[in-house]
Amino acid sequence: MPTVRDVLAQKNSAVVYTCAPGVTLAEASRLLCDRGVGCLVVADDDGAVQGVLSDRDVVRAVAAGRDPARTPVAQAMSTSAAAVELEAPLEEVARLLRRRRVRHLPVVGRRGLLGVVSLGDLARFYTLRERASAEAAALQ
């Protein structure tokens, strides 16, 4: 059964972009844009995960009339994005993403924050897996 570890290995990226809960939405938006990512993991000074700020969270906050230059990330982030462990089965991760209506989940382990798994990551993982299976079958 595939796990989060398999998805992170396929992503081949150990980089996780974070921000503090007190950072403004404007600052966080610049980081999202500069890094070309769809979310930031919001962590406190000790590295404990507080939530996730996605590009959609920023849009919702601005649409609600919040000033991005003055609104802290803590007021717009999703706190329903529960962290998952490295050995979590992908079926469980997919259920969590659906049930909590989020697109990104932080991955944590003994060393703290290890990565982020997204709905897009799951789609890519299963697509590549199916393609490899079809290619292997064609060779037989």
pLDDT in tens, 82-139: 899 999 999 999 999 998 888 999 999 888 899 999 999 999 999 988 887 787 778 7
Structure tokens at 22: 């007190």
Over residues 35-41, the mean pLDDT reads 93
Treating both helix axes as pointing N-terminal to C-terminal, what angle do 119-139 and 90-100 enclose, rounded to 10 degrees? 140
Strands of 10-135 (E only): list them.
18-19, 39-43, 49-54, 84-85, 104-109, 112-118
Residue 89's contacts (CB-CB under 8 Å, 6 or more residues apart) are 1, 2, 3
Task: Give the separation between CA 128 and CA 101, rounded to whole angstroms.
Answer: 24
pLDDT at 54: 94
pLDDT at 125: 93
Task: Answer yes or no: are the C-beta atoms of 81 and 104 closer than 8 Å.
Answer: yes
More confident residue, 53 or 81: 53
* Domain residue ranges of the chain, discontinuous segments joined by +: 4-139
Q: Which superfamily, per CATH, for 4-139? A: CBS-domain (3.10.580.10)
